Structure 1
Amino acid sequence: MAEVPIVVHPAIEQGGRAVVVRNEVAGLAHCDREVVEFLRRVGLPLSDDILDDPVWVEWRGGRAHDYEAA
């Protein structure tokens, strides 16, 4: 299986999730809007459903779109 270009890591204790784009840390996101902004900055094609597309995004630990620590 090919590696997905975007990985959203588990939420940290203070809230927020690290976002890695093409093996480079893009930043710490606290909402979907921030993830999309990181993707825009690196020039990835954006669509309304990119964050729910497993070809593009792997959500690790916790539920997708949840940015609070458990």
Structure 2
Amino acid sequence: MADRVIVVYPPDAAGGRRVRVDGTILGRARDLRALTEYLRRAGLDGIGDLDVVRSTLIEWRGGAPENWNPA
């Protein structure tokens, strides 16, 4: 995962957060479980919810991993 660029954007009005890996938008995650699934589909096999929360490689914009509500 060290060579991947992962960005999770602020929650939108519906509470989804856009997910980008290596410049490609994967979609909008509505919770941590959905985000983890997007990352697995992007080739990050074996990643779990706890890995996502603890990872320093994910750039969380507009809120921490527990923030899924619009501002």
* Same fold flag (TM > 0.5): yes
**TM-score, length basis structure 1:** 0.80
Residue deviations 1:7-33 (CA, integer Å, cap 9, x gap): 100001121100001110011001000
Structure 1 unpaired stretches of 5+:
none
Misfit runs of 4+, over 4 Å = none
Structure 2 unpaired stretches of 5+:
none
Whichever residue aligns with residue 32 of structure 2, its letter is D
Cα gap change, 1:34 to 1:8, in 2 (>3 Å): same
Q: Report the number of matched residues.
A: 68
Q: Percent identity?
A: 37
CA RMSD of aligned residues (A): 2.0
Cα gap change, 1:26 to 1:48, in 2 (>3 Å): same
**TM-score, length basis structure 2:** 0.79
What is the match of residue 41 of structure 2? 41
